[in-house]
Structures are given as structure tokens and as C-alpha cells.
Amino acid sequence: MTSSPFRLDGKTVLISGAGGGIGRVLVETFAASGARVIGADRTTGDLDGLPLAGHVLFDQADAGATRAAVTAGMSRFGVPDALIANAGFTRAEHLDHLDDAVWASEMAINLNGAYALADPVVAAMAGRGWGSLVFVSSVNALAHFGNPAYAAAKAGLIAYAKAIAVERGARGVRANVIAPGSVRTPAWDHRLAADPGLLDKVLPHYPLGRLVDPREVANAALFLASDAASGITGVTLAVDAGLTAGNLRFVNDVLKAN
């Protein structure tokens, strides 16, 4: 029997932010593809109910703790075949919410911590001769949709993935990026608490007329992590229901208005 290149039977996959809205669906999707999934998050409670073969705990805002935890995790569970760097966080919605401390905090979690997570994994994968990384960035990295510090960090992930792709490709390591559009996860809870009707204001921006489903993000991550994407490295795949294809509201509000 020929196994599908889209499956990950017997492969070990480390997923950060595993307890979050997208993370939980990533875990379920990779487990269903046959992978042995190691989940990473801040506490064991975050990971309750997930089909995990093991877990790694760290606060990604603390680069030293992140590096130490992932290094210990690789000693215990082995070097993963794939890393899905999915943990992320933002609260500073626009420039007026920024100061030095807020900027530093959002860079620490989303960029510095992601580097501290990925760097020891990349080194171990390169030493072994194979491995694949998928960074969960955002449409905010591609054009400005708010959250400026987070956006800068998420854009940094694209540059970092390209560095890995170019400098570690000869040692069998691939690195790619997913840029999701809006996904209704707990990351939106604070916005919806402030304005319960907010999603009605989001939808007119999306050409597909809906938000992105977490399964669509997970399926794209599975593809990029798998051998089905063996020739793909250094790319950014928007999973954004068409948001970055153009400006739907301009067409509807300006050009179709008359």
C-alpha cells in the first residue's frame, strides 16, 4: 500500500499554543493524520482533553524558559519531524495603544519567543538531516489591519522563516508560514465582549463572505508540514478567505455605489 504524502503516520509533531482556538484544531488534525502530537502551552490545564502523546510547558514571553523547555522536551520525546509555531497574543489594537513596554511585550511573545522555540528545533533537525517548520503568522504581517506591534512581530516571522529556508535547506529543513485572516477563537473574546455585534462589521471585508474556519488553517499547516509540500520552502500562504486579494469594500462601497 502506498501511503499518502498528505499523511504524517508515525511522525512526531510539536505544536505550540496547542490549547488555543486554532491550536486545538491543529492537534486534532495532525493526530487524525497519524502523527504523534506533543502539545506546548503555558499550563497543563490549557491542554485538557487533547489527544496528546506528551506536552511541553513554557511562557513564550520568556525566551530563556522557552528554549530550556523545548530542549528538555526534545530530550524526552525526540526531535520532532515538524514544528507548528502557533502561539501568539495581542491586545494593542492600534498605534495609540503602544508604548515601549507594550511594544516589547508583544515582540517578546510573538517574535523573540518564537525564535527561542524554533532555534533549538532547527538546529536539531539540521543535525539529523530533515524537518519541517510552519509558523502561524497573520494577514497583519502582509498589510496593516491594526495591532502594529503584533504585526511587526508576525512580519518578522516571515523573514525568519525565509532565513531558515535559505540557510538550512541544504540540511533538509523546510520552513513556511501561514497568514490567517480573522478566525473566531478565544483571541476575539475581549473584542466581542466590548462590542457583541462586531463580527457583522468584519464580514463585509471578506470576499468569501465569512471568517476563516480554524480547520482551514490546520489543513494548510498539515499540507505545508507534510511530504506533499516537499518542494515548498520559504513561502507564506494566506488562509484569509480572500482578504488580501484586494479591497472588497472599495469595490462595493465606491464602485458599485452608483
Ligand X SMILES: NC(=O)c1ccc[n+]([C@@H]2O[C@H](COP(=O)([O-])OP(=O)(O)OC[C@H]3O[C@@H](n4cnc5c(N)ncnc54)[C@H](O)[C@@H]3O)[C@@H](O)[C@H]2O)c1
Region class of 150: left (phi > 0), else alpha (psi between -120 and 50), else beta? alpha
Give yes or no for residue 42 binding ligand X (CB under 6 A).
yes
Only one of the segments 83-91, 125-133, 166-174, 229-237 lies at the binding site for ligand X (rule: CB under 6 A); that segment is 83-91
Give yes or no for residue 63 binding ligand X (CB under 6 A).
no
- Among residues 8, 15, 22, 175, which is the contact residue for ligand X, using CB under 6 A? 22
Q: Identify the active-site residue in 11, 115, 154, 201.
A: 154
In the structure grid, which three cell numbers stand for residue 113, read together? Answer: 519567543
Only one of the segments 14-22, 31-39, 191-199, 243-251 lies at the binding site for ligand X (rule: CB under 6 A); that segment is 14-22
Give yes or no for residue 20 binding ligand X (CB under 6 A).
yes
115 is catalytic: no
- Least spacing, CB of residue 77 vs ligand X, in Å: 18
- Least spacing, CB of residue 245 vs ligand X, in Å: 16
AA letter at 143: A
256 is catalytic: no
Distance between CA atoms of residues 138 and 105, nearest Å: 18
Query: Cβ distance 31 to 51 under 8 Å?
Result: yes
Distance between CA atoms of residues 99 and 151, nearest Å: 15
Q: Which of residues 197-256 bind ligand X (CB under 6 A)?
A: none
- Least spacing, CB of residue 138 vs ligand X, in Å: 4
Contact pattern for ligand X over residues 169 through 198, marking x by CB under 6 A: -----------x-xx-xxx-----------
Cα–Cα distances in Å, from 74 out to 36, 79, 173, 216? 13, 5, 17, 28
Only one of the segments 39-47, 123-131, 159-167, 201-209 lies at the binding site for ligand X (rule: CB under 6 A); that segment is 39-47
C-alpha closest to that of 133 among 18, 14, 40, 36: 14
Give yes or no for residue 156 binding ligand X (CB under 6 A).
no
The rounded radius of gyration (Å) of the Cα atoms in the chain is 18
Which CB sits closer to ligand X, 12 or 138? Answer: 138
In the structure grid, which three cell numbers stand for residue 134, read together? Answer: 510552519
Query: Cβ distance 187 to 21 under 8 Å?
Result: yes
Give yes or no for residue 141 binding ligand X (CB under 6 A).
no
Main-chain dihedrals φ then ψ at residue 174, nearest 5 degrees: -105, 145
Q: Identify the active-site residue in 11, 150, 160, 206.
A: 150
- Cβ–Cβ contacts within 10 Å for residue 225, how many? 28
C-alpha closest to that of 173 among 219, 124, 221: 124
Give yes or no for residue 105 binding ligand X (CB under 6 A).
no
Active site residues: 150, 154
Query: Residue numbers of the site for ligand X (CB under 6 A)?
Result: 17, 19-23, 41-42, 46, 59-61, 86-89, 109, 136, 138, 180, 182-183, 185-187
